Amino acid sequence: MFQNGFSPRRVVVTGMGIACPLGLGVEHVWKRMLAGESGIGSIQSFDVSTLPAKIAGQIPTGVKADGRLDINEWIPIKDQKKMDRFIQFALVAAEEAVADSGWVPPDEEARCRTGVMIGSGIGGLETIHEAATLAVQGKIKRISPFFIPSALINLASGQVSIKYGFKGPNHSVVTACATGVHALGDAARLIALGDADVMVAGGAEAAVCELGVAGFCAARALSTGFNDTPQKASRPWDEGRDGFVMGEGSGVLVLEEYEHAKARGAKIYAEVIGYGMSGDAYHITAPAEGHEGAFRAMTAALRSAGVTPAEVQYVNAHGTSTPLGDDLELEAVERLWGDAGKGLAMSSTKSAVGHLLGAAGAVEGIFSILAIRDNVAPPTLNLEKPSRESVIDRVALQAQPRKIEVALSNSFGFGGTNASIVFRAAA
Amino acid sequence: MSDTAEKVKKIVVEHLGVEEAKVTPEASFIDDLGADSLDTVELVMAFEEAFGVEIPDDAAEKITTVKDAIEYIEKHKGE
């Protein structure tokens, strides 16, 4: 490959869209996040009486004008049954991101140079549950012709491409909770390597359903001690943390080749300057000792960005609020940053929105970019008493104004998959 | 209009998200009402459920208009 002397192209972010437990719309969500608000609450949409975890971050329902979701405002009723909720969330976030970017391909060639890469950790779990229930009830013939295209993970990319006529690379990522970062990083590479000029990239997840909660409960991964005080449950690095809180939603970014964006006078939020990946080869759910896989992913990302740890002012941590994972990630960051850790702010925005699984890396990429844009580190809510001290400022409880030029965002997934992405302020 | 015709019309309106006025007896699901092949499969399933009839695949393939559906159901319901 690339025997022709091709050199990688620069990639910038020109549009962003979000649907998450803090609501709809990038500015609305960001404002609430900086104000220290939480999107975690009791699960009302299904019966949780027999489940040990009874809380989650769910997209608030209501009208668009209030930053809430009424899916009828976004997708015709007849089409809703053709797509699981994770795809609906992707369409909502993509609509904001694409509009925000102002990118409308002027011709067929431009449409063919615009692709989509939206992933999901689990995909249409609720849809699969419904179909399986029909099978168990002996109603196998009642299974909808839309069952498979509703449940398939790559149909988020498929539906977005169909809606907008984007005919470039149509791809999807499935790497559990690292999906979002992998989607952004891989999509940026497709642009850097010349496969596309614009990529609509991100993640979507709607696993806050009976099977999803039951499955993570069975794996002993979820917080169960804060059912009566849901907003206290997601508490990364705090000594009282007892597991993660599931979240749902989608984050979508429009990535664009730098000259392409400049030529059309697009607003540029930030540049994607680095991306690194690694595997633990260790355990199906637990991170390796010292989170050495995370260490290698971050090292690779910084190397590809051509920056030293000292040049990074903010890390958006994976920080899920699990007893084991949080401190191991902290340990890996401390080891990599060394003395430069004293100047670093690292927070976990999962404290406010929960863990959006396959969408986490995408929404956290957006938060990292906004941290750069506004020179502010979003807070780690509920970090009242850290389980251990560190030179690294974890932005406890309140947002902090800080000069942020370069930010790194981490996402790690079951199976031992790690990804880090680095953004820099638009030049 | 018969009860069956009314009910068929209602199902078509709901499933295809089309205006009631467009659902004439002669209207073709695909050519006039914007359905694709998967929509028609689902529509036939909805008829089966609503009228308690079984519509085998070879018969379903011949149901392309609102009238086809009404006639088939009238003929086979209660079987």
Nearest to A144 among B14, B17, B42 (CB): B42
pLDDT band, very low/low/confident/very high, at A145 (cuts 50, 70, 90): very high
Whole-number percent of chain A with pLDDT over 90: 97
State the number of CA atoms in the 13 A half-sphere of A16 facing the CB. 25
List chain B residues with CB under 8 Å of A146: 38, 42
Instruction: Give the ipTM.
Output: 0.88
Residue A99 burial (CB count, 10 A): 13
User: CA dist A202 to A240, A367, A375, B73, Å?
Assistant: 32, 13, 23, 47
pLDDT in tens, A339-390: 999 999 999 999 999 999 999 999 999 999 999 999 999 999 999 999 999 9
How many Cβ pairs closer than 8 A exist between chain A and B?
A: 20
DSSP 3-state of B27: coil
Catalytic residue among B3, B36, B57, B58: B36
Q: Is the pLDDT of residue A292 over 70?
A: yes
pLDDT recorded at residue B1? 66
Chain B closest-CA separation from residue A142 CA (Å): 7
Largest CA distance in chain A: 64
Selected residue of B39, B40, B43, B47 to mutate for chain A interface (largest A Cβ count, 10 A): B39
Question: DSSP assignment, residue A347?
Answer: E
Question: DSSP assignment, residue A60?
Answer: P
pLDDT in tens, A149-167: 999 999 999 999 999 999 9
The pLDDT of A28-33, averaged and rounded, is 98
DSSP 3-state of A365: helix
pLDDT in tens, A307-324: 999 999 999 999 999 999
Residue count of chain A: 427
pLDDT recorded at residue B78? 77
User: CA dist B58 to A371, B41, B45, Å?
Assistant: 60, 12, 14
Question: DSSP assignment, residue B28?
Answer: B
Q: Is the pLDDT of residue A411 over 70?
A: yes
Tokens of A330: 């902290």
Whole-number percent of chain A with pLDDT over 70: 100
List chain A residues with CB under 8 Å of B16: 78
